[in-house]
Structure 1
């Protein structure tokens, strides 16, 4: 599998996260880790470059300009060498120990329906009250309109087939709407309870309601995509 991690200015968090991933995955899976540096302005890139010799499965993609979380994930998935993709946030709040349960759920689900998305549900959020409140409002509005039946669409830990993801239309903030995009294409979405940890250092770079107007536009766009989608399976 390919682990895709988007990062922006996470110099204090990314190396400890990579150490944890090695501890949990080495000897269990054939895997690679692609860290997509979303044009960081701190020492994130430097620290990653120093880690390559010690961590042979690590690959680094450096974006020459900010692409946002969705843009970074997209570049990582495009470069992936394995058919199974697992994504993690680069701030260390996702627990790599959850990858086992995520992969097990993916294997069970994909045996019945290959077009699937397994997404984490942070049932005990370790964020500020404001962030938890804004996320709850965003999830409620999104769910009531898109009916994707996903309690935590913004959770960073996910598992999905590379080819299925690459069918999705690419746009900024698409990572918030992956369950809806999967459902629109006849996919199966499964939410799995996962751990959530407090951020140890730095501040969030991808807020919940800080781009409210853009979020509303994106939501309406996803509704339009579902309404206007051409069903290729109808063609024989």
Structure 2
């Protein structure tokens, strides 16, 4: 079976959400505009997530998984997904399902023209503190990167896999994916999508993760931008 699109689902202690993830992503596969499969990346969960993931994959041929030996963080989980994807397109969505898999179709409409299409969450259903800290962090990041994106933390993206695989990922740089595509002279666009409250489980990010950490990461991005190697082969003999 030839797949065109892999949806990466990072997982860390999400046992309460995973059966809902199975249903919603399974339903989405029947309406996806590309032939798609799901790749769970279990980031060293300490609950029953792995047991549930294996059961899901055993009963669904379009579901696969990777399991980390230890918790390494969201950037590492996304990077592992990028490394193991074997389809021309990839996307990712958080396992809390605060975004809808159906909205991947909105992003896929644009991926022919662009190299990364990211969602921008409308009417966010988060707390005031979370929304305010994200707004500030996005403003700081935009100033550093000049990527023009309003919501790089949105957990719904589609990327051409050859671009994604060339991204030099470090902890925290999952917030800089549009900027990293621009470093490759790729093209990016943001598309409005829906946002929903978290139904189960616990958020993994606090004030440090959303505000202070990203500010520090901006300086890492500036260093990387200065040192980044980009080339195009014109001819091979």
TM-score > 0.5, shorter chain as reference = yes
**1:137 matched residue in structure 2:** 136
Please state if 1:6 is matched with 2:13: no
Identify the residue that residue 113 of structure 1 maps to in structure 2: none
Which residue of structure 1 lines up, in the alignment, with residue 21 of structure 2? 17
Aligned counterpart, 1:170: 169
Work out which of the residue numbers 73, 81, 84 in structure 1 matches 2:78. Answer: 73
The answer on 1:34 being equivalent to 2:39 is yes
* Structural mapping, 1:182-221, within 5 Å: 182-207=181-206, 209-210=208-209, 212-221=211-220
Contact 2:163/2:184 (8 A) holds in 1 = no
By how many angstroms is 1:166 displaced? 1.3
In the alignment, which residue of structure 2 is the partner of 1:101? 106
User: How far apart in 2 are the matches of 1:30 and 1:184?
Assistant: 29
1:207 is displaced (CA, Å) by: 3.6
Are 1:69 and 1:206, in contact at CA under 8 Å, matched by a contact in 2? no
Q: Is the 8 A contact 1:93 1:196 kept in 2?
A: yes
Alpha-carbon distance in structure 2 between the residues aligned to 1:235 and 1:80: 27
CA distance in structure 1 between the aligned counterparts of 2:135 and 2:212, rounded to whole angstroms: 17
Q: Secondary structure at the residue paired with 2:108?
A: helix
> Aligned residue for 1:155?
154
The normalised TM-score by structure 1 is 0.91
CA contact (8 A) 2:178 2:188 kept: yes
Following superposition, the deviation at residue 81 of structure 1 comes to 2.3
Task: Give 1:227 shift.
Answer: 2.2
Paired residues of 1:118 and 1:191 also in contact (CA < 8 A): yes
Measure, in 1, the Cα distance between the counterparts of 2:36 and 2:78: 17
The total of aligned residue pairs comes to 230
Which one of the candidate residues 63, 67, 70 is aligned to 1:62? 67
TM-score by length of 2: 0.91
Cα pair 2:116 2:157 within 8 Å, conserved: yes
Which whole-Å CA distance do the structure 1 matches of 2:78 and 2:35 have between them?
A: 20
Q: After alignment, is 2-11 or 20-29 more displaced?
A: 20-29
What whole-Å deviation, never above 9, does each CA across 1:87-146 have from its counterpart, x for those lacking one? 101111110110111111212x14xxxxx1100100211111110010000001110121
Query: How far does residue 215 in structure 1 lie from its aligned partner after superposition?
Result: 2.5
